[in-house]
Amino acid sequence: MPSFADNLKTFAPITAIDRLELRDAAGELVATIENRPGQQGSLALYNHLRERFGRIDQAAAHEGLALYAEHTPDARANPCRHPNIDRLLAIVQGAAPLEATPVPRAS
């Protein structure tokens, strides 16, 4: 089974993205994943899910949990340690899907 680092190598580059805004069905901003150290892996993964599924729904969340690889069991065992994985776990368990909108880097 590939590791999260292996999976990251398969995602599109995120150099042109400043952040990804996650919004609920009402359009309210519920989270932001920024292009900065400590969040870049999640930004790349969520952007991959957005490109593949159009939004972060149950199918996308299932795939995302698989792609997070070794981090998913740690997130299940330690709630709140991995908020971006926790969000996918909640969607798998029935939380509403999220729209993901990339915000480009300023030129």
Domain containing residue 49: 4-104
pLDDT band at 107 (very low <50, low <70, confident <90, very high): confident
- The string of pLDDT tens digits covering residues 26-68 is 999 999 999 999 999 999 999 999 999 999 999 999 999 999 9
Q: What is the pLDDT of residue 1?
A: 83
Token reading at 76: 């299940």
Count other Cβ atoms within 10 Å, centred on residue 26.
7
State the alpha helices, DSSP H only, in 56-104. Answer: 58-67, 71-77, 83-92
Structurally, how many domains does the chain consist of? 1
Whole-model pTM: value is 0.96
- The string of pLDDT tens digits covering residues 69-101 is 999 999 999 999 999 999 999 999 999 999 999
